[in-house]
Amino acid sequence: MSTYKSLKEEVYEANMQLPELGLVLFTFGNASAVDRSKGVFAIKPSGVPYVDLKPEDMVICDFDAKIVEGSMRPSSDTKTHAVLYKEWEKIGGVVHTHSTYGTAWAQAIKDIPIFGTTHADHLISNIPCAPPMKDDYIAGDYEHMTGYQIIDCIKERGLDYNEVGMILVGNHAPFTWGSTVAKAVYNSAVCEEVARMAYLTLQINPNAAILKDALKKKHYDRKHGKDAYYGQGC
């Protein structure tokens, strides 16, 4: 029996949620989860239809994206996941999709504006869109440098990756992360829904105003602040 059986099962379940939530078409997406005690992560194999996936198909890689266990090639985005796990020590899962509305904002190279309280329940900034990849990054190890495209944007915006949990990669598509892969899947669904809401808001009112600071803070703090009271707690 594989040493990584439970990790593979966790990642399999996360990947299977992506088509169920309408976040992927065909094989346009992947989810991964890390086991930091073993220095590895599990990720979906490349190009395998979701209907054909099995838990044992998940590929185990180290933080240099080298295969530790698995008979199939890992996702083409494996090096991006590896960079994020290596650089951001507090994340437990990463998801990448080409969901329709999130990808449309990424292709437009636009941040998703914070128009309402649904957005503010999850983060108090716009969902950032990283600028198109630099030419030297493209000419280098493309998937590896995509990880740094994400990290550079978060750093340049003065954001905390523990608080943001989602980004659009310009001309590409969304990436999300979280303390667990389940949280990363949740953030992926939130990103897509907020992207859709923002698009519709601008169709109704092209001059819609950004949410005022007091409401941003109230809605974020009631779920994430030191005196948070949303939900049932521990």
Just list the catalytic residues.
Answer: 121, 230
- For 182, the enclosing helix (H) or strand (E) is helix 181-204
Contact of 81 with 43, CB cutoff 8 Å: yes
β partners of residue 42 = 33, 60
What is the biggest distance separating any 2 CA atoms in the chain, rounded to whole angstroms? Answer: 59
The sheet carrying 93-97 orders its strands as: 67-69, 59-62, 40-43, 29-35, 93-97, 174-178, 166-169, 129-130
Burial of 196 (0-12, 13-18, 19+ CB in 10 A): middle
Query: Could you tell me which residues come within 8 angstroms of residue 223 by beta carbon, excluding any fewer than 6 positions away?
Result: 121, 122, 230, 231
